[in-house]
Structure 1
Amino acid sequence: MLMQYMEQIEALGLNIFFASIFFFIGMAIHDVLKQGKVPKFGRYIVWLVLFLGCSGFIAKGIIQMTWETTGIS
């Protein structure tokens, strides 16, 4: 029974891995910005870039999921 769901388990594990990596990247960036005493405008730019990177992966996942459910790919 486990072999039937192996693909789904792998996909879920990969998504959790990417979410944890983005979390740790965010924590590291927060620490560097805090210790470097970066001005607010610079902090906003850094967080915007991080958010855009995360949203790209989220958009890719949503597009891939909709394509797979409609049978395009």
Structure 2
Amino acid sequence: MLSKYYEQIETIGLNFALAILFLLIGLAIRDVLNRGNVPKFGRIIVWLVLFLGCFGFIAKGIIEVIWEGGL
């Protein structure tokens, strides 16, 4: 039974691992920004870039599902 759903489990695991990775990157960036006394404008730019990176992965996943006819 497990072999039947192997690809789905693998996909969910990969997505979960990427979410944890982005969370850890966000925590590390927050720590660096706090310790470095970065001005507000710099913080906004850093978080914008991080958000766009996350958004790119989310958009890629949605496009793959639509392209492969999953919906």
Scaled by the length of structure 2, the TM-score of the pair is: 0.95
For these two proteins, the number of residue pairs brought into alignment is 70
Q: Map of 1:1-73 to 2, 5 A cutoff?
A: 1-69=1-69
- Could you tell me how far 1:69 is from its partner in structure 2? 2.3
Amino acid at match of 1:2: L
CA RMSD of aligned residues (A): 0.8
- Percent identical among aligned pairs is 66
Tell me how far apart the structure 2 counterparts of residues 33 and 6 of structure 1 sit (CA, whole Å).
40
Q: Which runs of 4+ in 1 moved over 2 A?
A: none
- Deviation, 1:68, is 1.7
Indicate the SS of the match to 2:69: helix
TM superposition score normalised by structure 1? 0.93
Q: CA deviation at 1:10?
A: 0.1
Distance of 2:51 and 2:16 partners within structure 1:
17
Residues 12-50 of structure 1, C-alpha deviations (whole Å, 9 max, x = no match):
000000000000000000000000000000000000000
> What is the identity, as a one-letter code, of the residue corresponding to 2:62?
I
